[in-house]
Amino acid sequence: MSEDTPDVPRNPPPPPQEEEKEPPKPGLGLLVLGILLGAPALYALYFGTTQGIAPDQGYKTFLAGPAAFLPIAVYLAVAVVLAVRPRTSRLGAGLLIGLGIFTLLGGGVCVGFLAQMRGEI
């Protein structure tokens, strides 16, 4: 009794391999997260601090004089490092956009006000 079966090829071709899947592209979620975290964080820091320099609050602030620019400089440095690293580039991009929004949309008033306070505190 032969095992040959004409309908079935002796050496069937290998099953088609799964098509090479491209690595999933990162979405815009981290970018949006960076914007939503960055700009409000800067606003909270600077508006919170300017409230603290009211005379009846006893000038409770550490961001007087040139130190007012310190958070922006640190924030910018962190955002640049994150933006340059491939794995965190979208978060870094979002943080950079957040800094731009904060600076353009009126955050400069708070920073400038704090920076002028050196001689008064």
One-letter amino acid for residue 110 of the chain: C
Contact between 33 and another protein by CB under 8 A: the answer reads: no
- Rounded to whole angstroms, the Cα distance separating 108 from 5 reads 83
- Rounded to whole angstroms, the Cα distance separating 101 from 43 reads 10
> To the nearest whole angstrom, how small is the minimum distance from the Cβ of residue 108 to another protein?
5
Token digits for 39? 């700009």
Contact between 40 and another protein by CB under 8 A: the answer reads: no
What letter does residue 13 receive in the DSSP assignment? P
Q: Which is nearer to another protein, 41 or 115 (CB)?
A: 115
Stretch binding another protein (CB under 8 A), from 2-10, 12-20, 55-63, 104-112: 104-112
Rule CB under 8 A: which residues touch another protein?
Answer: 25-26, 28, 31, 65-66, 68-69, 76, 79-80, 83-84, 86, 89-90, 92-97, 99-106, 108-113, 115-116
